[in-house]
Structure 1
Amino acid sequence: MSRLERKTYLSEKVEQLEPSGIRRFFDLASSMENVISLGVGEPDFVTPWSFIEASYHSLEQGYTAYTANAGMIELRHSISQYLEESYNVTYDPENEIIVTVGASQAIDLALRAIVNPGEEVIVVDPSFVSYAPAVSLNGGVPIKIQTTAEFDFKLQPEQIEQAITPRTKAIILCSPNNPTGTVLEGEELNQIASVIEKHDLIVLSDEIYAELTYEEEYTSFASVEKMEERTILISGFSKAFAMTGWRLGFAAGPPGIMEAMLKIHQYTMMCAPTMAQFAALEALKNGKKNVNDMKKSYEQRRNYVVNALNEMGLTCSLPGGAFYVFPSIKRTGLSSGAFAEQLLQQERVAVVPGDVFGESGEGHIRCSYATSIKQLEEAMLRINRFVESI
């Protein structure tokens, strides 16, 4: 081992981080043949052609330089209009919106901007695997609140009250939720907002799946009374617009916080990719039908998968949004990790163990239905065969 490979040269924060459990199963599945992957949260749709064409045209016209640090002003205007028309929240494109390299960078920027060393950030469990590590990497302390299947994995306001200490600075919310698909609605949002206001917290509201809600009209947390001034709205184009590889997201929020985030963005990223910004501009202007068509397909797949899982005895509630189901595998007697590993080895179906999303995910698996009905039908046959075998 060379001197530079010694552990002492590495950051303690990085040393303490666990690799992504999602990525581990994806890498394992990719090394095997005849695998149906229900693991990675990525649309199976190709980016709509008009979005791609807009990017081509921008390159042909020579738009290959940096944009403004905060993103193209035309795109920021379109994002502002989109948010107002879709979710009844108003942001000034000049100083309240930043275009980022995916929603993940927006989350990182927000945490860097608001968290001081040792301050606590509440993270709802189960949740997207990057939230707690992002808090830790930015010097904060993630405080996890465990939700349960009994309440459809919905955060209860009294849980927030119990988790708050003098060091609490912020809370990260994700609705529709990854991995459960749970959507917070109406009075649930109002009750949470009351606690947020009472304790003067900042909210990072990850709304990347906002377009993908099914039975109910989506309500942005920033649209709840008195919440816009203390909410950093995080979203992007990866999921609903089928643009994961384009790496384009955005953050919207109070001008003071956006100014701080922009300073960090200037030094660490400069700007989001120019050609991707042109694709996103086309997506907002003319992509509504594409999004609706994909959403209808996801809804059909969701209904099929939920029915199939319940029929084989894996209890699964009907998620209100995103493109995941989170069935219970407790009746099998296996842990989440053992279930996922044995299913992959025996039946060549890749799912994600629920515990990688937090302790309360144990006893569940996450299945993404962002794949074709044909693939889903075969996957359900294989899972059923595996369940019967044990």
Structure 2
Amino acid sequence: MPKRISPLLAEIAPSATYALFDMVQSLRARGISLLDLGGGEPDFATPAHISTAASTAIDDGWTHYTPSRGIPALLDAIAGKLALDNHVVIDPQTQVVVTPSAKHALFVALMTVLGPGDEVIIPTPSWVSYKAMAQMMGAQAVELPLDASNGFALTAAALAQKLSPRTRAILINSPNNPTGHMLDEHEAALIADFAEQHGLVIIADEIYEKIAYGKPHISIASLPKASDRTLTINGFSKAYAMTGWRLGYIAGPRDLIDAALTATQHTVGCAGAFIQQGGLAALTGDQAPITAMREAYDLRRKRVVDGLNAIDGLRCIDPDGAFYAFADISGLGLGSSAEVTQWLLREAGVVVTPGSAFGAGGEGYIRLSFATSTDVVTAAVERIRTAIADTKARRSNPLVTV
């Protein structure tokens, strides 16, 4: 029987994070109690004024196609937001496309830049879908492993080692999922210099930009050397707790955005009309919910990081942004990150994500999401502490029952 699956897709594993999400839902449906630190979804409700705007839009008939770029008012609001928050100036009519999710914006960005045999440099640990998306284009994701010893920062030497004649782009995520690392001025400048020197496109995933803990967010497109070669990806899921709405955007130089628009027209056509109205309300309405959510994440961050660092065998650097702790498990002696993940699920009833899911440099770590309630975060860390302590006690004295 002839093979019916595309060879490009056949080589790609299912999403590790979605597989984890599905597993948690299945176990809970069977009545198993779990504390979930595996997901990347805010536990907050979408702010009421956003939901009201979308509901009203449905009642007002916003249930049909919109222009593929997006509704004009939302395009203007995105341009205003980029200018005010990111110091990135664009023409709303020619340099931005609204997409059904930032995830789709990333897919379109890679489709715009990459062809079969091309390469994109992806600093890792990184979000699980970057590599898979590149592979779907017939391109090669060239992983650039980073190290916790310098806070997972990029260096010019590391970038140069991954350059080849086939390199077309570099994909940057700041704040980073899973490490929480954020670009500083030096790091952003060296990326811009590297891209200019070698004629590369920069794809900047900034979906976590509003979740930062004191360190300023730097949009690489704001740098003069990067402004005409950067595709900025952003959306509404993380900042406004709108994960289920599926709304994002891609902004950048006109020639690249024209190509991205073509890809959008031939894939999804446009984002949902009433959902765009919700996005408009998010950008132009009350921003206080963002501050409240960020403050809650900050409290949880401190509890998780302090709690993990108080456990013998665990080490965790303080994330600059996002809502993940990336903990070094090498001191536990309990096996690989996948094995530790299964061990925590079995022994502690706590769900985490193995670092191996995030590519080269991720092994030896687990990712813990604190996008859940403070009570759950506190209880989960205590369960982890207890499970590790009990295991150490059994190891030191096999006759002791704990």
Q: Judge same fold: TM > 0.5, yes or no.
A: yes
Residue 19 (str. 1) matches residue 14 (str. 2): yes
Other-structure match for 2:319: 319
| Structure 1 contact 44–371 (Cα < 8 Å) conserved | yes
Q: Give the whole-Å Cα distance in 1 for the aligned partners of 2:115 and 2:10.
A: 21
Equivalent position amino acid for 1:364 in 2:
Y
Which residue matches 1:189? 188
Deviates further, 138-147 or 17-26:
17-26
2:182 counterpart SS class: coil
Number of residue pairs aligned between Structure 1 and Structure 2? 385
Q: Which amino acid aligns with 2:309?
A: N
SS in 2 for 1:180: coil
> Is contact 1:347–1:383 with CA below 8 Å preserved after alignment?
yes
Task: Using the TM superposition, give the Cα deviation of residue 13 of structure 1 relative to its aligned residue in structure 2, in angstroms.
Answer: 1.2
Tell me how far 1:359 sits from its aligned partner.
Answer: 2.5
**CA shift at 1:200, angstroms?**
1.1
Aligned position for 2:400: none
Distance in 2 of aligned mates of 1:331 and 1:386: 15
**C-alpha contact 1:29 1:344 (8 A) present in aligned 2:** no
Shift of 1:189: 1.1
Please state whether the residue corresponding to 2:142 is helix, strand or coil. Answer: strand
What is the DSSP-based 3-state SS (H/G/I as helix, E as strand, rest coil) of the residue aligned with 2:168? strand
Q: Mind listing any 5+ residue stretches in structure 2 that lack a counterpart?
A: 392-402
Equivalent positions of 1:1-390 (< 5 A) are 8-32=3-27, 33-313=32-312, 314-333=314-333, 334-390=335-391
TM-superposed CA distance for 1:287, in Å, is 3.4
For 1:279, what is the secondary structure of its paired residue? helix
Query: Displacement, 1:226?
Result: 1.6
Q: What residue ranges of structure 1 are gaps of 5+ in the alignment?
A: none
The aligned amino acid for 1:361 is: G
SS at match of 1:17: coil
Provide the C-alpha distance between the structure 2 equivalents of 1:287 and 1:264, rounded to a whole number of angstroms. Answer: 33
Counterpart CA distance in 1 for 2:251 and 2:161 is 29
Q: Shift of the alpha carbon at 1:225?
A: 2.4
Paired letter, 2:24: A
Alpha-carbon distance in 2 for matches of 1:268, 1:236:
18
TM-score by length of 2: 0.94
Q: Secondary structure at the match of 1:122?
A: strand
Distance between the aligned counterparts of 1:379 and 1:294, measured in 2?
20
Alpha-carbon deviations, 1:85-143, whole Å to 9, x = none?
Answer: 01111111001010001111111111111112101111111100000110010121111
Q: Distance in 2 between matches of 1:115 and 1:135?
A: 8
SS at match of 1:232: strand
What amino acid maps onto 2:319 in structure 1? P
Q: SS in structure 2 opposite 1:13? A: helix
Of 43-52 and 210-219, more deviation after overlay is shown by 210-219
Q: What is the TM-score of this pair, normalised by structure 1?
A: 0.97
The answer to whether the 8 Å contact 1:235/1:249 transfers is yes
Deviations 1:57-97 (A, max 9, x none): 10111111111101011001000001110111111100101
Whole-angstrom CA distance in 1 between matches of 2:320 and 2:286: 22
SS in 2 for 1:41: coil
SS of 2:8's partner is: helix
Letter in 1 for 2:37: L
